[in-house]
Amino acid sequence: MTSKRGWSSDGLKTVGDDPELWTVADAARLLGPPDLEVREVRNLVKIFSIHPSGKRRVTSAGHSGRHARVYPASELIKAYHAIQQTM
C-alpha cells in the first residue's frame, strides 16, 4: 500500500511481539550479521513479493510514533536462503 509519502501501514492490523513476525530490522539482525543490511531485506521483500502480515509499534508505549510493518519470518528466511544459494 502506498501513500503520497511512501509506504503506508493503513489497513494493517496491529500485532504485539510475535516471534513468527519480523520487521525488516529484525530480519537484518537475525539473518545476516554482519552481512545483511536493512536495505537488503527491503529488497528481498520487494523481489519475493512478501506481503506484510500486520504492523507493530516501534516506539515505547505512551509516545506517539510510527508502526513498522511485520512480515512472516518463515517467508523472509526462505527468501534469504534462496538468494544465498545463488551466490
pLDDT tens digit at each of 87 positions of the chain: 555 555 666 789 989 889 999 999 999 999 987 778 999 999 999 999 999 999 998 776 666 677 899 999 999 999 999 988 877
Question: The pTM is what?
Answer: 0.81
Contact 50, 82 (CB under 8 A): no
User: Which CATH number characterizes residue 38's domain?
Assistant: 1.10.10
Domain count, the chain: 1
The residue range of the domain holding 12 is 2-86
In the numeric block, the cell 506484510 is attached to 52
